[in-house]
Structure 1
Amino acid sequence: MSTAPKPRHIGRNISRIRELRDMKQEALAIAIGTTQQSISIIEGSESVDDEKLKAIAEALGVPADVIKNFSEEAVFNIIGNTIDIENNNGSSVISYGCTFNPFDKLLEATEQNTKLYERLLQAEKDKVVFLEKLLSEKK
Protein backbone atom coordinates (compact mmCIF):
# COMPACT_ATOMS: atom_id res chain seq x y z
CA MET A 1 0.00 0.00 0.00
CA SER A 2 1.30 3.40 -0.97
CA THR A 3 1.26 6.21 1.55
CA ALA A 4 2.00 8.89 -1.04
CA PRO A 5 -0.73 11.53 -1.22
CA LYS A 6 -3.07 11.33 -4.19
CA PRO A 7 -2.43 14.07 -6.74
CA ARG A 8 -5.14 16.70 -6.80
CA HIS A 9 -7.57 16.44 -9.70
CA ILE A 10 -7.58 20.08 -10.85
CA GLY A 11 -10.45 19.56 -13.30
CA ARG A 12 -12.68 18.13 -10.59
CA ASN A 13 -11.77 21.05 -8.33
CA ILE A 14 -12.75 23.51 -11.07
CA SER A 15 -16.04 21.67 -11.51
CA ARG A 16 -16.87 21.74 -7.79
CA ILE A 17 -15.99 25.42 -7.37
CA ARG A 18 -18.02 26.26 -10.48
CA GLU A 19 -20.99 24.33 -9.06
CA LEU A 20 -20.63 26.02 -5.67
CA ARG A 21 -20.67 29.36 -7.49
CA ASP A 22 -23.88 28.19 -9.22
CA MET A 23 -22.27 28.71 -12.62
CA LYS A 24 -22.92 26.57 -15.67
CA GLN A 25 -20.13 25.31 -17.93
CA GLU A 26 -21.44 27.52 -20.71
CA ALA A 27 -21.19 30.65 -18.55
CA LEU A 28 -17.63 29.79 -17.57
CA ALA A 29 -16.78 29.12 -21.22
CA ILE A 30 -18.11 32.53 -22.26
CA ALA A 31 -16.20 34.20 -19.41
CA ILE A 32 -12.86 32.79 -20.59
CA GLY A 33 -13.63 32.89 -24.31
CA THR A 34 -13.93 29.20 -25.13
CA THR A 35 -16.63 26.59 -25.69
CA GLN A 36 -18.68 24.55 -23.26
CA GLN A 37 -17.11 21.40 -24.69
CA SER A 38 -13.64 22.75 -23.82
CA ILE A 39 -14.74 23.37 -20.23
CA SER A 40 -16.08 19.82 -20.07
CA ILE A 41 -12.71 18.49 -21.27
CA ILE A 42 -10.84 20.71 -18.79
CA GLU A 43 -13.02 19.50 -15.92
CA GLY A 44 -12.21 15.91 -16.88
CA SER A 45 -8.47 16.59 -16.86
CA GLU A 46 -6.25 15.90 -13.87
CA SER A 47 -4.03 18.87 -14.70
CA VAL A 48 -4.55 22.23 -16.40
CA ASP A 49 -1.84 24.51 -17.75
CA ASP A 50 -1.16 27.58 -15.61
CA GLU A 51 -2.40 30.12 -18.17
CA LYS A 52 -5.82 28.46 -18.48
CA LEU A 53 -5.98 27.91 -14.73
CA LYS A 54 -5.36 31.60 -14.11
CA ALA A 55 -8.13 32.61 -16.56
CA ILE A 56 -10.56 30.11 -15.02
CA ALA A 57 -9.69 31.23 -11.50
CA GLU A 58 -10.33 34.85 -12.46
CA ALA A 59 -13.69 33.95 -14.02
CA LEU A 60 -14.67 32.00 -10.88
CA GLY A 61 -13.50 34.84 -8.64
CA VAL A 62 -10.94 32.81 -6.71
CA PRO A 63 -7.14 32.67 -6.70
CA ALA A 64 -5.54 29.86 -8.74
CA ASP A 65 -4.10 28.42 -5.51
CA VAL A 66 -7.63 27.90 -4.19
CA ILE A 67 -8.40 25.71 -7.20
CA LYS A 68 -5.13 23.77 -6.82
CA ASN A 69 -5.66 23.17 -3.09
CA PHE A 70 -9.46 22.90 -3.03
CA SER A 71 -10.83 20.48 -0.46
CA GLU A 72 -14.52 19.65 -0.13
CA GLU A 73 -13.92 18.57 3.45
CA ALA A 74 -12.67 22.06 4.30
CA VAL A 75 -15.71 23.65 2.66
CA PHE A 76 -18.12 21.45 4.61
CA ASN A 77 -16.14 22.14 7.79
CA ILE A 78 -16.46 25.88 7.26
CA ILE A 79 -20.17 25.60 6.48
CA GLY A 80 -20.73 23.41 9.53
CA ASN A 81 -18.93 25.85 11.79
CA THR A 82 -20.56 29.04 10.52
CA ILE A 83 -24.15 28.35 9.54
CA ASP A 84 -25.70 26.82 12.67
CA ILE A 85 -25.30 29.35 15.45
CA GLU A 86 -27.02 29.15 18.84
CA ASN A 87 -28.75 32.24 20.17
CA ASN A 88 -29.03 33.24 23.84
CA ASN A 89 -31.91 30.91 24.72
CA GLY A 90 -30.17 27.79 23.37
CA SER A 91 -32.16 27.32 20.17
CA SER A 92 -30.39 27.18 16.84
CA VAL A 93 -30.59 30.03 14.40
CA ILE A 94 -29.45 29.79 10.81
CA SER A 95 -27.19 32.70 9.96
CA TYR A 96 -26.59 33.70 6.39
CA GLY A 97 -24.07 36.43 6.98
CA CYS A 98 -23.62 38.47 3.84
CA THR A 99 -19.92 38.67 2.97
CA PHE A 100 -20.45 41.20 0.19
CA ASN A 101 -22.24 44.46 -0.30
CA PRO A 102 -25.46 43.79 -2.25
CA PHE A 103 -25.33 47.25 -3.80
CA ASP A 104 -21.87 46.50 -5.19
CA LYS A 105 -23.21 43.30 -6.72
CA LEU A 106 -26.18 45.20 -8.22
CA LEU A 107 -23.84 47.80 -9.68
CA GLU A 108 -21.58 45.07 -11.05
CA ALA A 109 -24.57 43.32 -12.66
CA THR A 110 -25.75 46.60 -14.18
CA GLU A 111 -22.30 47.25 -15.63
CA GLN A 112 -22.18 43.73 -17.07
CA ASN A 113 -25.62 44.21 -18.63
CA THR A 114 -24.47 47.50 -20.15
CA LYS A 115 -21.40 45.83 -21.65
CA LEU A 116 -23.51 42.98 -23.02
CA TYR A 117 -25.99 45.45 -24.51
CA GLU A 118 -23.15 47.40 -26.15
CA ARG A 119 -21.73 44.19 -27.65
CA LEU A 120 -25.17 43.20 -28.93
CA LEU A 121 -25.70 46.65 -30.41
CA GLN A 122 -22.30 46.51 -32.12
CA ALA A 123 -23.10 43.06 -33.51
CA GLU A 124 -26.35 44.40 -34.97
CA LYS A 125 -24.52 47.38 -36.50
CA ASP A 126 -21.97 45.02 -38.04
CA LYS A 127 -24.80 42.91 -39.42
CA VAL A 128 -26.43 45.97 -41.03
CA VAL A 129 -23.12 47.02 -42.60
CA PHE A 130 -22.60 43.51 -43.95
CA LEU A 131 -26.12 43.33 -45.41
CA GLU A 132 -25.76 46.78 -47.00
CA LYS A 133 -22.50 45.65 -48.55
CA LEU A 134 -24.19 42.55 -49.97
CA LEU A 135 -27.01 44.63 -51.41
CA SER A 136 -24.60 47.10 -53.01
CA GLU A 137 -22.61 44.25 -54.59
CA LYS A 138 -25.79 42.85 -56.20
CA LYS A 139 -26.63 46.16 -57.92
Structure 2
Amino acid sequence: MTTTTKDKNKKIHQGRNIKRFREMLGMKQDALAFEMGEDWNQQKISLLEQKETIEKEILQRLSEILKIPINAIESFDEESAINIISNTVNNSDTATGNSLYNNYPTFNINPVEKWLEALDENKKLYERLLETEKQLVTSEKEKVALLEKLLDK
Protein backbone atom coordinates (compact mmCIF):
# COMPACT_ATOMS: atom_id res chain seq x y z
CA MET A 1 0.00 0.00 0.00
CA THR A 2 1.48 3.34 -0.99
CA THR A 3 1.11 6.47 1.06
CA THR A 4 0.41 9.63 -0.88
CA THR A 5 1.26 13.18 0.11
CA LYS A 6 -2.44 13.73 0.66
CA ASP A 7 -2.47 10.88 3.25
CA LYS A 8 0.58 12.23 5.10
CA ASN A 9 -0.93 15.71 5.43
CA LYS A 10 -4.31 14.43 6.59
CA LYS A 11 -4.92 15.33 10.24
CA ILE A 12 -6.32 12.56 12.44
CA HIS A 13 -9.00 13.67 14.92
CA GLN A 14 -7.94 11.84 18.08
CA GLY A 15 -10.99 12.87 20.10
CA ARG A 16 -13.31 11.47 17.46
CA ASN A 17 -11.30 8.25 17.49
CA ILE A 18 -11.65 8.02 21.28
CA LYS A 19 -15.39 8.39 20.86
CA ARG A 20 -15.53 5.72 18.13
CA PHE A 21 -13.51 3.21 20.16
CA ARG A 22 -15.51 3.97 23.33
CA GLU A 23 -18.79 3.44 21.48
CA MET A 24 -17.52 0.22 19.83
CA LEU A 25 -16.78 -1.07 23.32
CA GLY A 26 -20.27 -0.08 24.49
CA MET A 27 -18.90 2.30 27.12
CA LYS A 28 -20.76 5.44 28.18
CA GLN A 29 -18.98 8.75 28.76
CA ASP A 30 -19.84 8.53 32.46
CA ALA A 31 -18.15 5.14 32.75
CA LEU A 32 -15.04 6.36 30.97
CA ALA A 33 -14.93 9.43 33.23
CA PHE A 34 -15.17 7.17 36.28
CA GLU A 35 -12.27 5.05 35.02
CA MET A 36 -10.20 8.18 34.30
CA GLY A 37 -10.41 9.30 37.94
CA GLU A 38 -12.16 11.70 40.25
CA ASP A 39 -11.07 14.79 38.29
CA TRP A 40 -13.12 13.58 35.35
CA ASN A 41 -16.84 13.73 34.57
CA GLN A 42 -19.11 13.17 31.57
CA GLN A 43 -18.80 16.78 30.39
CA LYS A 44 -15.01 16.62 30.45
CA ILE A 45 -15.06 13.41 28.37
CA SER A 46 -17.44 15.09 25.92
CA LEU A 47 -15.03 18.02 25.55
CA LEU A 48 -12.10 15.64 25.19
CA GLU A 49 -13.85 13.83 22.35
CA GLN A 50 -14.16 17.16 20.51
CA LYS A 51 -10.41 17.85 20.64
CA GLU A 52 -8.40 17.15 17.50
CA THR A 53 -5.21 16.34 19.43
CA ILE A 54 -4.95 14.98 22.96
CA GLU A 55 -2.03 15.17 25.37
CA LYS A 56 0.25 12.11 25.46
CA GLU A 57 -0.41 11.36 29.17
CA ILE A 58 -4.16 11.38 28.66
CA LEU A 59 -3.81 9.22 25.54
CA GLN A 60 -1.75 6.74 27.58
CA ARG A 61 -4.44 6.52 30.28
CA LEU A 62 -7.23 6.17 27.69
CA SER A 63 -5.22 3.48 25.93
CA GLU A 64 -4.97 1.50 29.16
CA ILE A 65 -8.66 1.89 30.01
CA LEU A 66 -9.96 1.07 26.53
CA LYS A 67 -7.26 -1.60 26.03
CA ILE A 68 -6.40 -0.09 22.64
CA PRO A 69 -2.86 0.73 21.49
CA ILE A 70 -2.03 4.44 21.50
CA ASN A 71 -1.03 4.33 17.84
CA ALA A 72 -4.54 3.12 16.99
CA ILE A 73 -5.99 6.24 18.62
CA GLU A 74 -3.35 8.48 17.03
CA SER A 75 -3.55 7.07 13.52
CA PHE A 76 -7.00 5.53 12.98
CA ASP A 77 -8.60 7.04 9.90
CA GLU A 78 -12.14 5.91 9.22
CA GLU A 79 -11.99 6.72 5.52
CA SER A 80 -8.82 4.64 5.05
CA ALA A 81 -10.26 1.78 7.09
CA ILE A 82 -13.43 1.75 4.99
CA ASN A 83 -11.34 1.71 1.81
CA ILE A 84 -9.21 -1.18 3.09
CA ILE A 85 -12.25 -3.18 4.20
CA SER A 86 -14.08 -2.43 0.97
CA ASN A 87 -11.12 -3.49 -1.16
CA THR A 88 -10.49 -6.60 0.91
CA VAL A 89 -14.12 -7.70 0.76
CA ASN A 90 -14.45 -7.03 -2.95
CA ASN A 91 -11.14 -8.67 -3.84
CA SER A 92 -11.67 -11.79 -1.75
CA ASP A 93 -15.24 -12.18 -2.95
CA THR A 94 -14.33 -12.08 -6.62
CA ALA A 95 -11.27 -14.28 -6.10
CA THR A 96 -13.12 -17.04 -4.28
CA GLY A 97 -16.46 -16.61 -5.96
CA ASN A 98 -18.10 -16.06 -2.57
CA SER A 99 -20.63 -13.42 -1.81
CA LEU A 100 -21.19 -11.67 1.49
CA TYR A 101 -24.75 -12.89 1.32
CA ASN A 102 -23.82 -16.58 1.15
CA ASN A 103 -22.33 -16.63 4.62
CA TYR A 104 -24.61 -18.31 7.11
CA PRO A 105 -24.40 -17.50 10.79
CA THR A 106 -23.18 -20.18 13.15
CA PHE A 107 -24.57 -20.52 16.62
CA ASN A 108 -22.78 -21.97 19.60
CA ILE A 109 -26.10 -22.82 21.18
CA ASN A 110 -27.84 -25.98 20.09
CA PRO A 111 -31.57 -25.16 20.01
CA VAL A 112 -32.55 -28.77 20.73
CA GLU A 113 -30.39 -28.80 23.86
CA LYS A 114 -31.93 -25.52 25.01
CA TRP A 115 -35.41 -26.93 24.37
CA LEU A 116 -34.61 -30.08 26.38
CA GLU A 117 -33.22 -27.95 29.21
CA ALA A 118 -36.44 -25.91 29.22
CA LEU A 119 -38.54 -29.10 29.29
CA ASP A 120 -36.49 -30.43 32.19
CA GLU A 121 -36.92 -27.16 34.07
CA ASN A 122 -40.69 -27.24 33.41
CA LYS A 123 -40.82 -30.81 34.73
CA LYS A 124 -39.03 -29.78 37.94
CA LEU A 125 -41.36 -26.82 38.42
CA TYR A 126 -44.41 -29.03 37.84
CA GLU A 127 -43.15 -31.56 40.42
CA ARG A 128 -42.63 -28.76 42.94
CA LEU A 129 -46.13 -27.49 42.23
CA LEU A 130 -47.61 -30.97 42.82
CA GLU A 131 -45.67 -31.33 46.08
CA THR A 132 -46.96 -27.97 47.27
CA GLU A 133 -50.50 -28.95 46.27
CA LYS A 134 -50.20 -32.22 48.27
CA GLN A 135 -49.02 -30.28 51.31
CA LEU A 136 -51.97 -27.89 51.02
CA VAL A 137 -54.47 -30.74 50.70
CA THR A 138 -52.95 -32.51 53.72
CA SER A 139 -53.06 -29.28 55.68
CA GLU A 140 -56.70 -28.71 54.75
CA LYS A 141 -57.62 -32.28 55.77
CA GLU A 142 -55.95 -31.74 59.13
CA LYS A 143 -57.90 -28.51 59.63
CA VAL A 144 -61.20 -30.25 58.81
CA ALA A 145 -60.40 -33.09 61.22
CA LEU A 146 -59.54 -30.61 63.96
CA LEU A 147 -62.76 -28.65 63.37
CA GLU A 148 -64.80 -31.88 63.51
CA LYS A 149 -63.22 -32.75 66.85
CA LEU A 150 -63.99 -29.31 68.19
CA LEU A 151 -67.61 -29.59 67.01
CA ASP A 152 -68.00 -33.00 68.62
CA LYS A 153 -66.94 -31.66 72.02
TM-score by length of 1: 0.54
Corresponding residue for residue 103 of structure 2 = 92
The whole-number CA distance in structure 1 between the counterparts of 2:30 and 2:64 is: 16
The whole-number CA distance in structure 2 between the counterparts of 1:95 and 1:69 is: 34
Instruction: Give the number of the structure whose alpha-carbon radius of gyration is greater.
Output: 2
Corresponding residue for residue 15 of structure 1 = 19
Q: How does 1:60-99 map to 2 (within 5 A)?
A: 60-73=66-79, 74=81, 77=85, 81=89, 91-94=102-105
Deviation string 1:80-101 (CA, Å, 9 cap, x unpaired) is 85xx9x6xxx93223689xxxx
Is the strand fraction higher in 1 or 2? Answer: 1
Q: How does 1:1-139 map to 2 (within 5 A)?
A: 3=6, 5-33=9-37, 34-73=40-79, 74=81, 77=85, 81=89, 91-94=102-105
Give the secondary-structure state (helix, strand or coil) at the position aligned to 2:64.
helix
Amino acid at match of 2:21: I
After the TM superposition, list the runs of 4 or more consecutive aligned residues in structure 1 that deviate by more than 3 angstroms: 94-97
Residue 69 of structure 1, CA deviation: 1.1
Percent identical pairs in the alignment equals 37
Query: 2:12–2:77: 8 Å Cα contact kept in structure 1?
Result: no
Segments of structure 1 that go 5 or more residues without pairing to the other structure are: 98-139
The RMSD of aligned alpha carbons is: 3.3
The whole-number CA distance in structure 2 between the counterparts of 1:19 and 1:63 is: 16
Amino acid at match of 2:18: I
Is the helix fraction higher in 1 or 2? Answer: 2
The whole-number CA distance in structure 2 between the counterparts of 1:25 and 1:95 is: 33
Q: CA 1:72/1:96 → structure 2, altered by over 3 Å: closer, same or farther?
A: farther
TM-score by length of 2: 0.49
The whole-number CA distance in structure 2 between the counterparts of 1:91 and 1:63 is: 34
The whole-number CA distance in structure 2 between the counterparts of 1:96 and 1:71 is: 33
